[in-house]
Homo-oligomer: A and B are copies of this chain.
Amino acid sequence: MPKSVTRTYSRYSRDAVSLLGALIREARKERRITTQELADRAGISRGLLQRIEKGNPKCEIGAVFEVATIVGVKLFDADESTLTNSLRQTRGKLALLPKSVRKKPKAVHDDF
């Protein structure tokens, strides 16, 4: 990616990533799993797991969700079946949405 990538994150986003990492760490300890073992099970390196638990936002979301799943941290406060159902419903919903919903793309300023 040309030019150095210096991304900024909103407070909420940073907190969300941090919280997820903290929850993972907590869950891992409660289950008495070492970082090495969890990393192995998730198919990632121990270093990456450390960054995840630390709340580093520059990690693959797939890797983070995988680790969370293994230690039992539920995303969206939903279990597997619920999640799958939501996904199906959402997809159907999207499919049924009108071709267009755009109307007036009025400029918006956001500052978190």
Chain A residues within CB distance 8 Å of chain B: 7-20, 22-23, 25-26, 29-30, 32-34, 37, 41, 43-44, 57-66, 68-70, 75-77, 80, 83-84, 86-87, 90-91, 93-94, 97, 101-105, 108, 110, 112
Contact = CB atoms under 8 A, between A and B. Distances in A.
Total copies of this chain within the assembly: 2
Main SS of the interface on chain A?
helix
A4 to B, nearest CB: 13
Nearest to A62: B57
Given A13-B66, A32-B105, 6 more contacts: A9-B65, A12-B69, A13-B68, A17-B61, A19-B86, A61-B64
A60 to B, nearest CB: 5
